[in-house]
Structure 1
Amino acid sequence: MFGLTIQGTGGTRATIAAIRDKVAEILPEVNRATRSDCPASALKVALQCGGSDGFSGLTANPALGLASDRIVGLGGTVILSETPEIYGAEQLLLRRAASPEIAEKLIDRIRWWEDYTAMNGGSMDNNPSPGNKQGGLTTILEKSLGAVAKGGSTPLTAVYDYAEPVTEAGFTFMDTPGYDPVSATGQIAGGAQVLCFTTGRGSAFGSKPAPTIKLATNDALFRAMPEDMDINCGDVMLGVSLSDKADQIVDAILATASGAATKSEALGLGDNEFVPWQIGAVM
């Protein structure tokens, strides 16, 4: 573990120099890394949603949930996060806990968030964000139900603290804020190689070093942002089955893990989305 502070390292210039020296030290080890064949069971896929709308819980999120089940069926791992955004729907996860200990750890995190928000003058059962409201969501419970749908239906095998290494296969949960860059940073630090990000409002998000696959919840968004959205899930409302859409998502995950560039990678997004969870009120 390498950590330092500007105050304890001699100021801004000295800190930058120390970081540069550390990068130069580890470069030979990084350069020894080469691409090699891996089974699908080695995949760790992060699940994210941001800028939700009234279609999120009907199209992209349940389709991603079925895709999550397929990844788990292949022996891989999926990581659901954003604890404030499952609030009110946590019973759907607790019922799937593989053991009482796993359920209790999730309950502990929920209780921690209740205390955390209360200390900062907030509430876990508040209304959705303005963007979510404009997208058609009326209560935070609607947001939570849609968010949980991304996790599919398989047993919950583990609950992790923020950025903790994810070691259990299957459907897992990581405690993170709902703020997408902070949440995704924790998932990537935990070992996720690919992110699947559903959006109904057009969140322009990318991530590094794990690329982001963007799933549009409605046709209008996909047509409006063709250079940002990788998959259109809006056609589920026109008769495309959730199962077929899940197959398309899994194919995209496998292709991305094999080196295919996502739309956000083509745009060069991701440099500014590394945002660790800082001390203070971050929802």
Structure 2
Amino acid sequence: MPELTSALKLHPSDNVAIARVAITADTVLDAHGLKALQDIPAAHKVALTAIALDEAVYRYGQIIGFATKPISAGEHVHVHNLAIGSFSKDYAFGEDVVTSDVATATRTFMGIKRPDGRVATRNYIAVISTVNCSASVTKKVAQYFNVSEDLHSHPNVDGIVPLTHSFGCCIDHNGEGLLQLRRTIAGYMSHANFAGVVLIGLGCEANQLKPLFDSQDAEPNARLVPLVMQELGGTQKTIDAAIEAVKKMLPEANAIKREPFPISHLTVALQCGGSDGYSGITANPALGVAVDLLVAHGGTAILSETPEIYGAEHLLTRRATSREVGEKILERIHWWESYAERERGSIDNNPTPGNKAGGLTTILEKSLGAVAKSGSTPLMGVYRYAEPVNEKGVVFMDAPGYDPMGATGQIASGANLVAFTTGRGSCFGAKPAPSIKIATNSPMFERMKDDMDIDCGQIMTGQATVEEKGREIFEAFISIASGEQSKSEALGIGDEEFVPWMIGAQM
């Protein structure tokens, strides 16, 4: 078929195309006179041929679902005539792995070296609650520094970050839920972007401070201070003790300087939220180009959100460096299938209403676009939620599709940057890791310029290529890792986005 003008065919075998702009009924779509039978919203799908009942619908050359009724050429294809279905996939473990030499690229960024040799992109102090019962105290400590003059006299400290959550008690003391929460908090407690950490517990909760410290082989010191409200005498005395502990940390935290370090010290969390029909055409493939460049420099990228690779997992197993790595992906997929069945839910409840309004119909379609964020290099490993990542290159971390929850796990795993693509306009930040917001379409970018860092909508208009935007994103990795503020940082977003994934029964 000739190249379409108002609609884009992404692969020769596709039987749908994507509306570049809103298409009105009777618009001629190609040189053969194919017309739109009805209005097609921007980023939505239009049938290129007649599609029979139960026939597979293809986008990206991959199945995104099956017709629930006969579809005519030129008809709008969406939730009213397309649904998910089951079909076999060729996992072809490792078939698409392209081996390369050890990274030799030499670009650097301006980072902050910690005493243990790790390199930070930001310089915060954290106040972390072990349980919801200490959340208010934690927030009040940070509020004190928001109005005091202490930070003004320590300009190299980026701020005091309160990390609170709604869990920590009335759960199995030895269960998977508590272990995962403890692992998540431990990842933040030891994160390179924190120069110091104060942890606040109530005292009687399930998530006790001692096993948390033991899990890290950590001992209390001037930069890692545990406080227990019931031992200190209650709310105000704990607030006072935490404020004093932070004040003592400030001089040492302030005594840093940025120096050039290899990009191999960067670990980027890959996120997409508020996705639309353009996500898999513009921002996600461009981020994939940036990830390939990152990996070429020895860096690490963490793909996540298992329900949002569902239906595209075969693309990852083909890139797995071993069958064992590929099987770990499938094990997680099967866990989520069982979990959804047990909870009487459906994995296809994702996409969200906003995703569907933006042109995405099934989770298969959303996942195929989401995987593009990870580029083309080998998949080096698969991790459970918030497990420390110790491999370079592209890895996968299990997490739900809820963006703050996924990003929380990725940061706990060691991510010191977040790259977040969005089509509908997600407003997101994630302290202590700066978040780079990448728009899939130009109208949203223009409407939400205060939140968006990069406009990938220029790919759809022909003003830029995927490769050009990928290099722009990669340059943003370097500049923002070096201290330049992202849009979400300038807005002060990130204190409320600490959302651990809590599993297991609350008793």
After TM superposition, the score normalised by the length of structure 2 is 0.52
Aligned amino acid, residue 495 of structure 2: D
1:42 CA displacement: 1.0
Pick from 263, 268, 276: which aligns with 1:45?
268
For residues 48-127 of structure 1, what are the structure 2 equivalents within 5 Å?
48-126=271-349
- Quick check: 1:165–1:189 contact (8 Å CA) kept in 2? yes
Summarize the Cα distance change of 1:89–1:3 in structure 2 as closer, same or farther, 3 Å threshold: farther
Identical residues among aligned pairs (%): 59
Distance in 2 of aligned mates of 1:127 and 1:272: 23
For residues 164-243 of structure 1, what are the structure 2 equivalents within 5 Å?
164-239=387-462, 240-243=464-467
Distance in 1 of aligned mates of 2:251 and 2:400: 33
Q: Secondary structure at the match of 2:438?
A: strand
- Quick check: 1:97–1:155 contact (8 Å CA) kept in 2? yes
Pick from 253, 269, 282: which aligns with 2:493?
269
Pick from 438, 455, 469: which aligns with 1:245?
469
| Partner residue, 1:134 | 357
Higher helix share: 1
> Over the residues paired in the alignment, what is the CA RMSD in angstroms?
2.4
Distance in 2 of aligned mates of 1:5 and 1:44: 33
Summarize the Cα distance change of 1:17–1:254 in structure 2 as closer, same or farther, 3 Å threshold: farther
Pick from 235, 258, 261: which aligns with 2:482?
258
1:126 CA displacement: 3.8
Aligned amino acid, residue 48 of structure 1: Q
Higher mean displacement: 100-109 or 272-281? 272-281
Q: Secondary structure at the match of 2:324?
A: helix
Aligned amino acid, residue 27 of structure 1: M
Bigger RCO of structures 1 and 2 (CA < 8 A, at least 6 apart):
1
1:218 CA displacement: 0.3
1:279 has 2:503 as partner? yes
Aligned amino acid, residue 229 of structure 1: M
- Give the ranges of 4+ consecutive aligned residues of structure 1 lying more than 3 Å apart after TM superposition: 1-23, 25-30
| Partner residue, 2:92 | none
Distance in 1 of aligned mates of 2:429 and 2:249: 24
Distance in 2 of aligned mates of 1:117 and 1:20: 45
- Quick check: 2:271–2:303 contact (8 Å CA) kept in 1? yes
Summarize the Cα distance change of 1:279–1:195 in structure 2 as closer, same or farther, 3 Å threshold: same
Distance in 2 of aligned mates of 1:186 and 1:29: 30
| Partner residue, 2:253 | 31
Aligned amino acid, residue 183 of structure 1: G
Aligned amino acid, residue 278 of structure 1: M
Distance in 2 of aligned mates of 1:201 and 1:269: 18
- Quick check: 2:283–2:439 contact (8 Å CA) kept in 1? yes
Give deviations 1:154-192, integer Å, cap 9, x for gaps.
000011111111110001111111101111011111111
Distance in 1 of aligned mates of 2:411 and 2:251: 20
1:104 CA displacement: 1.6
- In structure 2, stretches of 5+ residues that fail to align are 1-185, 187-198, 206-227
| Partner residue, 2:385 | 162
- In structure 1, stretches of 5+ residues that fail to align are none
1:39 CA displacement: 0.7
Q: Secondary structure at the match of 2:391?
A: coil
1:143 has 2:366 as partner? yes
Higher mean displacement: 6-15 or 158-167? 6-15
- Quick check: 2:200–2:229 contact (8 Å CA) kept in 1? no
Higher mean displacement: 255-264 or 24-33? 24-33
Distance in 2 of aligned mates of 1:137 and 1:272: 28
Give deviations 1:108-145, integer Å, cap 9, x for gaps.
11111112222211122345210100101111111001
Q: Specify the structure having the higher radius of gyration (Cα).
A: 2
Summarize the Cα distance change of 1:135–1:20 in structure 2 as closer, same or farther, 3 Å threshold: farther
Q: Secondary structure at the match of 1:164?
A: coil
Summarize the Cα distance change of 1:265–1:87 in structure 2 as closer, same or farther, 3 Å threshold: same
- Quick check: 1:218–1:232 contact (8 Å CA) kept in 2? yes
Distance in 2 of aligned mates of 1:94 and 1:84: 16
Higher mean displacement: 56-65 or 29-38? 29-38
After TM superposition, the score normalised by the length of structure 1 is 0.91
Summarize the Cα distance change of 1:125–1:276 in structure 2 as closer, same or farther, 3 Å threshold: same
Higher strand share: 2
